[in-house]
Amino acid sequence: MPTYKTPGVYVREIDTFPPSVAEVETAIPAFMGFTKTGPKNLPTRITSILDYQLAFGSADAETKIVATVQNNNIVVDFDKDQNGMPVKSKNVMFYALQMYFANGGGPCWIVSIGGFGESDTAATKTYTDALSEISKEDEPTLLVFPDAPYTLSAKNYYDLQIEALRQCQKLGDRFAILDVVDNKDDFRNNFAPPSPEFARYGAAYYPYLKTTIPFAVDESKITVVGGEKAPEPQQAVVEQPTTPGENPEQPARRPRPAPAPAAAPKGVSFTDASISNALKNQIRQKIKETLTVDLPPSAAVAGVYASVDSIRGVWKAPANVSLSYVKAPAAKITDDDQESLNIDVNDGKSINAIRAFIGKGTKIWGARTLDGNSNDWRYINVRRFFNMVEESIKKSTGWAVFEPNDINTWTNVRAMIENYLILKWKDGALAGAKPDDAFFVRVGLGQTMTPQDVLEGSMIVEIGLAAVRPAEFIVLKFSHKLQTS
């Protein structure tokens, strides 16, 4: 209370409303992997693919493509190694960012763990260093490793996933999106979180995606093989109308077809002068149509998380959503296949399937965490909703630190949290016909604290939430009804 010594009129403003909860962002992923350029192990925030290109460069252009021109046909493919496997770049970060933004992604963070030339010596420590750096940033809420399945062994990748879950559990404000790099049995045998407390902070997705994104290609490294002429697109024959005075029986003039491209010599560079521009354009088009990128699903899934959070809210399960830039899943999954993916009777390591449906495209068809046998934390949206509420309330109660630990402070804290949760209930995030059914907030002496707690400076607030859960299994019951009239 101020002390007044001079006669006069004084104005005092009195706060009548409690403080409010400022809600944190929910879908800000951090992508960690190899980039063409850019600072190493320096978390960088971007908002578009253009931002990424300016800071980290573009894709790793392919250098081992062979175009075979034979029997009036063009076949393009990657060169093969001694084991018959295609030789192509393992650096897919740029393509992953394309998938992320195409599927609704917004602002995100990039942590480069090195240039493309360093990828052959990649080890788990390289990624864990990036994990350590991103842990210092407060904004990220999702962890994604789009190129780790290519640059790490399966065992090292699963070790990295466990480190990601460990960070999520420790900080309590983020969630890991994981890729299954081999079959479900190997995943479940080799991926072993220390406890369910870690597993509930992540979700796994399978299989990989066949995208419509074409590979970046270094045209100077394309090899052209063959000796036959490539097919030239046929021009339509259009009859020219006769004009007055012309002989109507005279054949109509037809356009002269363009000359066929010159034959391609054996094993020459795409830039060789003997290859015509027409043939080059056909090869370019064939590469674009035929050689498209296969990607782990995590980046596209991160985009869906961002899109669903923005349109519906974090409490909506990120499932039954069609994926953009996808031709098909790399493996077909049936209902029978998904039974064992969705429910792991042994350890709860649920795997969310990505499936193709006729007329509906390719959809995410699962919404479970890796703690799939838990009634509390089985669903992704429940875990992420609690993450958001916990982090939002935690940051918004900072004003109460060192305030008097009495009923006035307790009342303000409770009112602030209740006002926020009423808004979430109205948005549909909490289940219940009325607010009292949807949540409770308790704080006070004799409720959540003892005199000893107050003496030790502790103010304890208890919050209970009835989070909505997805209708994962919709059962329609039909029966015969006897005629009554």
Q: What are phi and psi of 5, to 5 degrees?
A: -120, -25
SS3 label, residue 343: coil
φ and ψ at 109, to 5 degrees?
Answer: -120, 145
Tokens found for residue 415: 């009112």
Weakest mean pLDDT among 177-181, 244-248, 392-396: 244-248
Q: How do the domains of the chain map onto residue ranges?
A: 29-214+293-382, 402-485
Residue 83 pLDDT: 86
Q: What is the pLDDT of residues 220-258, one digit of tens each?
A: 999 998 755 555 555 544 455 554 555 555 555 555 555
Task: Report the alpha-carbon distance of residue 305 to residue 352 in Å, rounded.
Answer: 14
How high is the pLDDT of residue 249?
Answer: 54
Q: Which amino acid is at 215?
A: F
CA 438 – CA 456 distance, rounded (Å): 32
Instruction: For residue 46, give the H/E element and its range.
Output: strand 44-46
Q: Return d(Cα 26, Cα 191) in angstroms, integer.
A: 26
* pLDDT beyond 50 at 330: yes
Which distant-in-sequence residues (6+ apart) come within 8 Å of 222 by Cβ?
Answer: 65, 66, 67, 269, 270, 283, 287
- Tens digit of pLDDT for each residue in 264-308? 555 788 888 888 888 899 999 999 999 999 999 999 999 999 999
Q: How confident is the model at residue 58 (pLDDT cuts 50, 70, 90)?
A: very high
In contact, 72 and 264? CB cutoff 8 Å? no
pLDDT of residue 126: 87
Q: Which CATH architecture is the domain 29-214+293-382 placed in?
A: 3-Layer(aba) Sandwich (3.40)
User: Is residue 417 scored above 60 in pLDDT?
Assistant: yes
- Span 418-445, mean pLDDT? 95
Q: Is the dihedral angle over the CA atoms 333, 339, 342, 347 positive or is it negative?
A: negative
Supply 474's token pair: 């919709």
- pLDDT for 128-164, tens place per residue? 999 999 999 999 999 999 999 998 888 889 999 999 9
pTM: 0.88
Per the prediction, the chain carries an average pLDDT of 89
Give the distance from CA 92 to its chain's centroid. 14
